[in-house]
Chains A and B, each alone.
Chain A
């Protein structure tokens, strides 16, 4: 099957925002067959696991999943380097290396992100002004988050979007100025922000003794992102403070969960937005989460394990990605669990974090 034919099928699922189990499996198998033949490192990995184009997985749970860190080890792409249309930089880890998620086209990526965003953040059809506390794609073209909000702002914004995060520095004065302008004009805004940038914004507002009253219909999209930061604020506190300082109801603060190695995103369910303690996330129809144990086998509902994602929009790389993120599946959807919860170390051995801290 050709790339074009596969893309057409994925795009059809995105357009319909529907894909039943049988169709998901069929498309996943075809994508798997395509990827093991064209993505050499993945093909070798899959063959070592006993699968290949001539031996397709019977269930999506059986699709060999590469660890997310594999993107730092090899070029995981189904096309030659000279056909790379865009690439996103994966974050470094405690071991320091970054990696790339390369795309042969942004068509699937952009279609997937817009379809989800439309349903999960713009269900009311609002045309908002986007005040972005995420990397500016003009400054950091290889930030997947920056790209995502660039596309959203361009396609769904009112043409007056702003970018306030420059490196690690937040231009709070510009944000306050632009938020006030939007408020004066009665234009509802969407504040797209990492959790850490939101903390920085709230700190800046507190320093200025400012509380904003964003226009009705305004909302916040929070994308997580405390990794590697020394200051972590629990989500309930963060949302309560954001609601107070920005004048946005808690239920209009929506958490997005995604990763550079994926092309699709999860969002809080509408039903769970009224609370902040246990938000539940749902994927779009072409993305499926599987919670696995240490042996890689799926865990029953309600049991916490590592998250594996099967993202059919990852046609140009690998559709099955294993992560170290933790979660549990419930009848409502996916509940993310913080990595530190219940993760107290045992023994008197050195650990990676301590070693990193010692090395400065």
Chain B
């Protein structure tokens, strides 16, 4: 079995090859992802750049050390300050079920499981992204050929899948609530289950933020909101602004201008007619309200900003539709989130200060991110509020 640092080095080297947009396996994966999801090429490129550029030796080692105390703990008993010496022994079998609606979400947990020296099986998708990355790993060192396996299979009642879940030490799954419930129900009694469900994120502009509101900030917000067509769990699905009337319209106008520029850099993807219809209906209803003196609609390419939608409605969760909600203070934001039962992943802010953290704590969010970074979570962060590697090890204490 390779030492952890060598595993990390090989993983980082493979990831570095995947950072090259002309790397043939990546070119193939990009085309396949586009065919599967319909996102525009710049969006898929952005996703793959973000995914693989973060997987560096330093970042992996730092993330592991922050959770386990040291990388050495993965190789054997290691001293720990104020606690018994212990070995973070990787579990034998990890299964990662990727989502069919996202890009490469299985890669990061699979990488950490490999760093823990687990045997990893990934339920891949039709684009075979994970299989492609694992092939690169096997080129780095043949040990990965058996340790890391990825292939697509049919879910549901597949007996082979059930056997896989029952025999796994840890199952990581991404998907909608019903998918996660179904997978969890098929896991063994001792299996650790890490489910990553669909979530919402929000943005917040305080009065102080508005005083310094400029085109650069607008550009950062627009980029966060329009990447992945606003369909990610880290996309701000509602922007709360401590302003109303003309001030709110000024913000919307600047954001619309910024969105115009972002849609050039990141064109919208293909949309199913049902989504087109739902989006048009929401936008047109907002236009109807606006004609009656309630709110406004700002169009920006294929994006739309809707001002002051009814508070008794949750965000629309429609592609490239950004509702701007007047909220004078964090209490109003918290009240809205509570009223609609929003499971919030991230809060986009200008300053990640104590007040922002307090808001996140209050509304159940797990990340506070400066605008412009919402779609770029660091590798060492706790996606979904959970650890990166701790679920893949069994501690053996000495003493």
Chain A residues with CB under 8 Å of chain B are 41, 44-45, 47-49, 65-70, 73-74, 95-96, 292-296, 304-306, 322-326, 337, 339-352, 354-355, 357-359
Task: Let me know if B198 and A348 touch, CB within 8 A.
Answer: yes
Task: Let me know if B199 and A348 touch, CB within 8 A.
Answer: yes
Task: Let me know if A354 and B288 touch, CB within 8 A.
Answer: no
Task: Let me know if A347 and B228 touch, CB within 8 A.
Answer: yes
Closest to B314 in A: A355
Task: Let me know if B313 and A95 touch, CB within 8 A.
Answer: yes
Given contacts A67-B284, A295-B280, 8 further A-B contacts (CB under 8 A): A294-B302, A304-B273, A344-B101, A346-B229, A348-B231, A349-B235, A355-B317, A358-B177
Task: List the A side residues contacting B56 at CB < 8 Å.
Answer: none
Task: List the A side residues contacting B314 at CB < 8 Å.
Answer: 95, 352, 355
Contact of B274 among A41, A69, A343, A350 (CB under 8 A): A343
- Assuming the contacts A45-B288, A346-B231, A348-B196, asked whether A306 and B317 have C-beta atoms less than 8 A apart, the reply is no
Interface CB pairs A-B, < 8 A, 30: A44-B292, A45-B287, A45-B288, A65-B284, A66-B288, A67-B288, A70-B285, A70-B288, A73-B285, A95-B314, A292-B280, A294-B302, A304-B273, A305-B277, A306-B273, A326-B277, A337-B273, A339-B277, A340-B274, A342-B273, A343-B274, A343-B275, A346-B101, A348-B196, A349-B199, A349-B230, A350-B342, A354-B198, A358-B177, A359-B340
Task: Let me know if A296 and B341 touch, CB within 8 A.
Answer: no
Contact of A44 among B39, B200, B291, B316 (CB under 8 A): B291
Contact of B287 among A48, A341, A352 (CB under 8 A): A48
Verify if B99 is at the interface (C-beta below 8 Å from A).
yes
Task: List the B side residues contacting A69 at CB < 8 Å.
Answer: 281, 285
- Assuming the contacts A70-B288, A348-B174, asked whether A296 and B273 have C-beta atoms less than 8 A apart, the reply is no
Task: Let me know if A345 and B101 touch, CB within 8 A.
Answer: yes
B195-214 contacts to A, CB under 8 A, are 196, 198-200
Task: List the A side residues contacting B198 at CB < 8 Å.
Answer: 348-351, 354
Interface-centre pick from A45, A95, A348, A358 (highest chain B CB count, 10 A): A348
A102 smallest CB distance to B (angstroms): 17
- Assuming the contacts A296-B284, A344-B101, A349-B199, asked whether A48 and B291 have C-beta atoms less than 8 A apart, the reply is yes
Closest to B294 in A: A73
Minimum-distance CB pairs A-B, first 3? A347-B231, A343-B274, A294-B276
A142 smallest CB distance to B (angstroms): 22
Task: List the B side residues contacting A339 at CB < 8 Å.
Answer: 274, 277
Closest to B302 in A: A294
Closest to A351 in B: B317
Closest to A360 in B: B341
Task: List the A side residues contacting B289 at CB < 8 Å.
Answer: 73
Q: How many A-B residue pairs have CB under 8 A?
A: 151
Task: Let me know if A350 and B199 touch, CB within 8 A.
Answer: yes
- Assuming the contacts A294-B271, A305-B273, asked whether A350 and B101 have C-beta atoms less than 8 A apart, the reply is no
Docked CA distance A294–B302 (Å): 9
Chain B residues with CB under 8 Å of chain A are 37-39, 99-102, 105, 174, 176-177, 196, 198-200, 228-233, 235, 237, 269, 271-281, 284-285, 287-292, 302, 312-314, 316-317, 340-343
Task: List the B side residues contacting A294 at CB < 8 Å.
Answer: 271, 276-277, 279-280, 302
Task: Let me know if B101 and A357 touch, CB within 8 A.
Answer: no
Task: List the B side residues contacting A348 at CB < 8 Å.
Answer: 99, 101-102, 105, 174, 196, 198-199, 231-233
Task: Let me know if B343 and A305 touch, CB within 8 A.
Answer: no
Docked CA distance A73–B275 (Å): 22
Contact of B273 among A323, A326, A350 (CB under 8 A): A326
Task: Let me know if B342 and A347 touch, CB within 8 A.
Answer: no
A302 smallest CB distance to B (angstroms): 13
- Assuming the contacts A67-B285, A339-B274, A358-B177, asked whether A41 and B229 have C-beta atoms less than 8 A apart, the reply is no
Task: Let me know if A347 and B272 touch, CB within 8 A.
Answer: no
Docked CA distance A306–B253 (Å): 29
Docked CA distance A47–B275 (Å): 27
Task: Let me know if A324 and B274 touch, CB within 8 A.
Answer: yes
- Assuming the contacts A294-B277, A305-B273, asked whether A349 and B316 have C-beta atoms less than 8 A apart, the reply is no
Task: List the A side residues contacting B174 at CB < 8 Å.
Answer: 348
Task: Let me know if A306 and B277 touch, CB within 8 A.
Answer: yes
Task: List the A side residues contacting B316 at CB < 8 Å.
Answer: 352
Task: Let me know if B277 and A324 touch, CB within 8 A.
Answer: yes
Task: List the B side residues contacting A74 at CB < 8 Å.
Answer: 288, 292
Interface-centre pick from A69, A341, A345, A359 (highest chain B CB count, 10 A): A345
Task: Let me know if A346 and B39 touch, CB within 8 A.
Answer: yes
Contact of B272 among A47, A49, A343, A359 (CB under 8 A): A343
- Assuming the contacts A67-B284, A296-B280, A355-B314, asked whether A350 and B237 have C-beta atoms less than 8 A apart, the reply is yes
Task: List the A side residues contacting B288 at CB < 8 Å.
Answer: 41, 45, 66-67, 70, 73-74
